[in-house]
Amino acid sequence: MEISVIIPVYNEEDNLQPLFTRLTAAMDALGRSWEVIFVNDGSRDKSGEILRGFCKERPDVVKFIDFNGNFGQHPAIMAAFEKASGDVMVTLDADLQNPPEEIGKLLAKIDEGYDVVGSYRKQREDSFGRKYASKLVNFARDKMTTIRMKDQGCMLRAYKKEIIKAVLATDERSIFIPALAYTFAANPTEVEVEHSHRNAGESKYSYYKLIRLNFDLITGFTLMPLQLFTIFGFLCSLGSLALGAYLLFKRFILGEGIWLYAPFAVTFFLISVTMIGVGLIGEYVGRIYQVVQARPKYMIRSTIGFDK
Ligand code: UDP
Ligand code: MG
């Protein structure tokens, strides 16, 4: 059974050598046939050159995909999925936050018959803000979607080939691979893994990019925000009707004056509700638009090691 390890790389020049040393040692020690596919996601540092060096050093196991620009971590992984030859595919970050030595643990679970093996970080080594933001989005995803995983942000995961085939068959633009794979899994499980500080460099995810990613996750896997909005809008319109009736009653039956500011308050409230609705609908319409455009998800500049 061949193992494909897939690593997206974006400006990770100082991490690649230690990663490669530890990865090759850990994988060779497993005694299975394996390959690693590095995807250079438009790095502007020396990452591309270093990866080409690895291809020369270990042509037996290293494959390389060079993107034409920065298309994002998930599209990079998708490109590697399409070209990988393994029966099991393992995704891993390049910054050594997920120790390559843990791959064996995931593969043992695959051997037991699980088709998707996720992981959760024992002791997460990230900034305070990131950790709590993660807790919040994990909670929201758990309540709003049918996807059950302890730690959606941990990318050290193993998938059987059949699951990846299904993931590749979807024609979506905004992909969140662990969640998509989970929806196709018949028998998923999770293992606990170690987590370290970033070896070098900074996180490639700003808070803005993280919010975008979580919007992809929520809008990709549930219509609940839209539905909640509809229910909320319905309740608001009932409320404003009742208020209108009450004000009319006051004015014409009781003959009292009604407050001047009441209609304004109601109007402003409804305007704000409308705006939230427009924003949410926009999220879905935007996605429909992207699919209609049918742009390629990425563009590969060159590849190494695929044509034998
Ligand atoms: N990455 C990528 N393209 C991007 C952003 C990130 O290929 O646009 C890679 C990055 O090089 C790393 C992995 O995705 O291998 C995870 O990124 P990072 O460690 O910055 O995320 P964090 O651990 O902070 O969530
Ligand atoms: Mg990281």
pLDDT digits (tens, 9 = 90+) for 123-149: 999 999 899 999 999 999 999 999 999
- Spacing of C-alpha 83 from chain mean position: 20
Residues in contact with 55: Cβ distance below 8 Å, sequence separation at least 6, in sequence order:
62, 63, 64, 304, 305
Q: Which amino acid is at 72?
A: G
The tens digit of pLDDT for each residue in 161-200 reads: 999 999 998 878 778 999 999 999 999 999 999 999 999 9
Determine whether the shortest distance from the Cβ of 205 to ligand 1 is under 6 A: yes
Report the nearest atom of ligand 1 relative to the CA of 97. 23
The pLDDT value given to residue 229: 76
Query: For residue 157, what pLDDT band results from cuts at 50, 70 and 90?
Result: very high
Determine whether the shortest distance from the Cβ of 9 to ligand 1 is under 6 A: yes
Only one residue has tokens 């699919």, namely 291
The pLDDT value given to residue 32: 95
Query: For residue 93, what pLDDT band results from cuts at 50, 70 and 90?
Result: very high
Determine whether the shortest distance from the Cβ of 203 to ligand 1 is under 6 A: yes
pLDDT at 289 over 90: no
How many angstroms does the Cα of residue 94 sit away from the middle of ligand 2?
7
pLDDT at 17 over 80: yes
Determine whether the shortest distance from the Cβ of 95 to ligand 1 is under 6 A: yes
| pLDDT, mean of residues 70-77 | 96
Report the nearest atom of ligand 1 relative to the CA of 92. 15
Average pLDDT across the chain, whole number: 91
Ligand nearest to the CA of 205: 1
The pLDDT value given to residue 65: 98
The pLDDT value given to residue 13: 97
The tens digit of pLDDT for each residue in 159-172 reads: 999 999 999 988 78
How many angstroms does the Cα of residue 229 sit away from the middle of ligand 1?
33
**C-alpha to C-alpha distance for 21 and 233, rounded to whole angstroms:** 57
Determine whether the shortest distance from the Cβ of 151 to ligand 1 is under 6 A: no
pLDDT at 155 over 80: yes
Determine whether the shortest distance from the Cβ of 93 to ligand 1 is under 6 A: yes
Residue 38 DSSP SS3: strand
pLDDT at 308 over 70: no
Residues in contact with 127: Cβ distance below 8 Å, sequence separation at least 6, in sequence order:
none
| pLDDT, mean of residues 267-291 | 83
Determine whether the shortest distance from the Cβ of 6 to ligand 1 is under 6 A: no
| Helix or strand run (H / E) with residue 144 | helix 128-144
Q: Pocket of ligand 1, candidates 93, 96, 175, 206: which has the most ligand atoms within 8 Å of its Cβ, to mutate?
A: 93
Ligand nearest to the CA of 8: 1
| pLDDT, mean of residues 261-269 | 74
The pLDDT value given to residue 243: 80
Q: Pocket of ligand 1, candidates 11, 73, 92: which has the most ligand atoms within 8 Å of its Cβ, to mutate?
A: 73
- Higher pLDDT among residues 208 and 283, named by residue: 208
Residue from 76, 114, 119 nearest 98 by CA: 119
- Higher pLDDT among residues 221 and 259, named by residue: 221
pLDDT at 258 over 80: no
